[in-house]
Amino acid sequence: MDDSETGFNLKVVLVSFKQCLDEKEEVLLDPYIASWKGLVRFLNSLGTIFSFISKDVVSKLQIMERLRGGPQSEHYRSLQAMVAHELSNRLVDLECRSHHPESGCRTVLRLHRALHWLQLFLEGLRTSPEDARTSVLCADSYNASLAAYHPWIVRRTVTMAFYTLPTRKVFLEAMNVGPPEQAVQMLGEALPFIERVYNVSQKLYSEHSLLDLP
């Protein structure tokens, strides 16, 4: 476990997701990207075990930053505006990856799925007993989220790697918010912010039949 970046605090990262929703409950992409960067720092602090997720997340964040900084940036201010723009202009590959493999809709969907895994895993850490096996918690979270979108060889490799995870206590201490019991309390207060962003995004993608983009 190595977090060489001083000042890292998972509570700050999780609470930052509160800034992702405006008064209309639109998902603002700038704070969404910034909040995900904080989660990547957390994943990287846990070692190489989660690189299969963090590396993919970083590449997706780079795509979104290019869209936010491009000539059509006003259409990428929020998730809702992005979906409307890309669908109306046929910028999304709905059946197979062909002309728009780096569309915003597809890219955020991958981040959305990863966010669900992390949300489930952190919730598992929060509610589990002290002697819970993190390998089981992580595998259960993975199987309920990302596993459905990975080929068999990736699922097998990832599941085997979970057996090398540190203890629940080490995970909670890596959050840098105090002793384990304080980290558990923090998760209870902060995880609802991620859950709300996830639920709003899930509803939007469901309404537009975008949850299974290739």
Question: Given CA atoms 61, 8, 195, 48 in this order, what sign does their dihedral have?
Answer: positive
Global confidence as pTM:
0.93
Q: How many CA atoms lie within 13 A of 97 on its CB side?
A: 8
Tokens, residue 13: 């990262």
Alpha carbons 209 and 192: distance in angstroms, whole number: 25
Domains in the chain with CATH codes: 10-208 (1.10.3520.10)
What are the DSSP calls for 61-97, one per residue?
HHHHHHHHTSTTGGGGSBHHHHHHHHHHTT-S-SSSS
Buried b (16+ CB within 10 A) or exposed e, 15-52: bbbeebbeeeebbbbebbbbbbebbbebbbbbeebbee
Which residues on neighbouring strands pair with residue 78, listed in sequence order? 28
| Confidence check: pLDDT of 18 > 50 | yes
Q: What is the pLDDT of residue 92?
A: 95
208 φ, ψ (degrees, to nearest 5):
-105, 10
Candidate from 49-53, 143-147, 148-152 with smallest mean pLDDT = 49-53
User: pLDDT tens-digit profile of 60-98?
Assistant: 999 999 999 999 999 999 999 999 999 999 999 998 888
- With vertex at residue 49, the alpha carbon angle to CA 48 and CA 50, rounded to the nearest 5 degrees, is 90
